A and B are shown apart, each in its own frame.
Chain A
Amino acid sequence: MYCVFRENSEQQYISLIKGENMKKQNMFTKEYAWRGLMTAGGLLVIAITICIGAFLIYKGSGTFTIFGHSIFEFLGSTDWNPEDNAQGGGTVGALIFIVGSLCTCGLALLIATPFAVGSAIFMIEIAPKFGEKFYRPIVEIFAGIPSVVYGWVGLTVLIPAIKKVFHLQVGHSVLAAGIVLALMIFPTISNVAADSIHSVPKDYRMAAYGLGSTRWQSIYKVVIPAAGSGILSGIILGLARAFGEALAVAMVIGQTTALPKGLFSTTKSLTTEIAAQMGNATEGGEMKTALWTMALLLFLLSLLFILLIHYFSRPKKDKE
């Protein structure tokens, strides 16, 4: 009886070990398979980014290499009259669009930042429960509204309002584009800022209260400085989004090829000009190539913004 039991248990034990080994092997096969898949996904993203960059450089450099324009003409001249054929001979000054983009985005940033940072403080510090349950989801919905809707609302509500308030003939303007963009980047800045305020350790707040701070003092003197780099990242991310937006801006900016003279001028931006002309331009023509160069410029700008974000959100080294 004892013997049988023992034999049995030994056999069981051996088969158990075998089973374990099988399972283990199986486990590692899966491990490698999944790791391979993830690695492939990661490499694909890197490859696509590099390809897009290389393609833009290839296409966009044509303005300078094939058509022989100088980089200073492209960046510094307002004379925009490229020929729509491969012979070239026109002018490719993109300054109007560059200034148009800078003005509208700068204005959007000026309008959106105070509200967005305020809203982030509100949802994390002032009303955390309400903020988490209602306010934040609403801001997230805000972020998800398609840009055509923003543009359309701007066109039907904002432009008549601007006309009426400022007694203008035309409501399309830098101001209208700035406001629409501000609305669009508000949720981006607000969410990123809220995350970074949320990640400020509770210890800092306790220390501030323990020293007799009021709530505002602890927010203003401790929490915001501690979250500063994250808030700045949010602002830059918002700026990047504003630079890339074409549709909504095109609907309210007025689309005239002239430098803006003030808030109420109509003008064009890099993105709106690309979107407006790319369908009509002949492949390989001077016009198309100049548009590619503008696309390359946008790509480089967004690269710059990403670098800035990394610079600001890098882990702080102790300044020894």
Chain B
Amino acid sequence: MEAKKANDYKFDISHLNLHYGDFHALKDVNMKIEANKITAFIGPSGCGKSTFLKTLNRMNDLVENCKIDGNVLLDGKDIFKEMDEITLRHRVGMVFQQPNPFPKSVYDNVAYGPRIAGIKKKSQLDEIVERSLRQAAIWDELKDRLNKSALGLSGGQQQRLCIARTLAVEPEVILMDEPTSALDPISTSKIEDLAMELKKDYTIVMVTHNMQQAVRVSDNTAFFLLGEVIEYNDTEKLFSIPEDKRTEDYITGRFG
């Protein structure tokens, strides 16, 4: 592998430790996340992969008794010391496990982010809504029902709407926390295609329960176990010639 320049990495995480009360949830995590790539986190339930993902946009700040040490640099800037969480979350968007559109119209859902950022002009909002829905490949399905409630959409449509809502904020990174675990296979493949399309413009970090999904979409994969990163490598390498015995056991289905 050629030596990579510093600005090829979006995130640079070093010596990250996270405690929930007495529980040591993340143990000395060191990782660099490449820009314009899809990075997948795999591992059994409770291994810390979602917790780690939520650290990247400081959603863990909302959890009580959560204590974080270590450095997380976004483009060289410490997200805990040199940034407030609001600015950070504008730059690092998030898509959740359960599709969670607001109980508002499709339009208002997508326009939510720009509106709270202070954009009021109708024409500008219209433009953002259309662009975001197009990017999320759902414009054709929804253009005639922009004023209908988002709760009436199917699960897969809701999830793509949530992605569009995230895109409307124009983030640099999109975090996806098992975005397809609540969806059927067809919707899942649509989301996967979308993720691969989006990586041209965005850095994507995805937690997944599904190893085939990691193989299909990701460029790099990290394997988490009991709060530690056991192995982090090029996806192809990690799945074909795992360096660690535990990784091999997990990906060959010996536990998990």
In the complex the two chains form, what is the Cα distance from A203 to B95 in whole Å?
11
Evaluate whether A206 and B96 lie within 8 angstroms (CB atoms) in the complex, with A211-B166, A211-B169, A212-B90 already known.
yes
Choose from B86, B104, B151, B162 the contact partner of A212 (Cβ within 8 Å).
Answer: B86
Residue on A with the closest CB to B117? A212
- A212 with B89: CB separation less than 8 A: yes
- A226 with B59: CB separation less than 8 A: no
- A209 with B62: CB separation less than 8 A: yes
Contact partners of B152 in chain A: CB under 8 A? 318-320
Contact partners of B101 in chain A: CB under 8 A? 207
Choose from A203, A213, A316 the contact partner of B98 (Cβ within 8 Å).
Answer: A203
- Distance to closest chain B CB from A314 (angstroms): 14
- B100 with A318: CB separation less than 8 A: no
B241 within 8 Å of A by Cβ?
Answer: no
B188 within 8 Å of A by Cβ?
Answer: no
B76 within 8 Å of A by Cβ?
Answer: no
- A211 with B112: CB separation less than 8 A: yes
A221 within 8 Å of B by Cβ?
Answer: yes
In the complex the two chains form, what is the Cα distance from A206 to B61 in whole Å?
12
In the complex the two chains form, what is the Cα distance from A319 to B86 in whole Å?
33
- B169 with A212: CB separation less than 8 A: yes
Contact partners of A208 in chain B: CB under 8 A? 102, 112
- A206 with B103: CB separation less than 8 A: no
- B148 with A320: CB separation less than 8 A: yes
Residue on A with the closest CB to B64? A129
In the complex the two chains form, what is the Cα distance from A210 to B175 in whole Å?
10
Contact partners of B136 in chain A: CB under 8 A? none
Contact partners of B242 in chain A: CB under 8 A? none
Q: How many residues of B contact A (CB 8 A)?
A: 29
- Distance to closest chain B CB from A1 (angstroms): 48
A204 within 8 Å of B by Cβ?
Answer: yes
The A interface is mostly helix, strand or loop, or mixed, namely helix
B149 within 8 Å of A by Cβ?
Answer: yes
Q: Most chain-B CB neighbours within 10 Å: which of A203, A208, A212, A320?
A: A212
Choose from A206, A211, A217, A318 the contact partner of B151 (Cβ within 8 Å).
Answer: A318
Residue on B with the closest CB to A318? B152
A221-256 contact mask (Cβ, 8 Å, vs B): 1 or 0: 110011000000000000000000000000000000
- A206 with B100: CB separation less than 8 A: yes
- Distance to closest chain B CB from A139 (angstroms): 23
Choose from A203, A212, A221 the contact partner of B96 (Cβ within 8 Å).
Answer: A203
Residue on B with the closest CB to A320? B152
Residue on B with the closest CB to A129? B64
- B112 with A203: CB separation less than 8 A: no
Evaluate whether A212 and B113 lie within 8 angstroms (CB atoms) in the complex, with A203-B96, A319-B149 already known.
yes
Evaluate whether A209 and B149 lie within 8 angstroms (CB atoms) in the complex, with A204-B100, A204-B102, A222-B102 already known.
no
Give me 9 other A-B pairs in contact (C-beta within 8 A), A203-B96, A217-B116, A226-B102 excluded. A201-B100, A207-B100, A207-B101, A207-B162, A210-B93, A211-B165, A211-B166, A212-B169, A318-B148
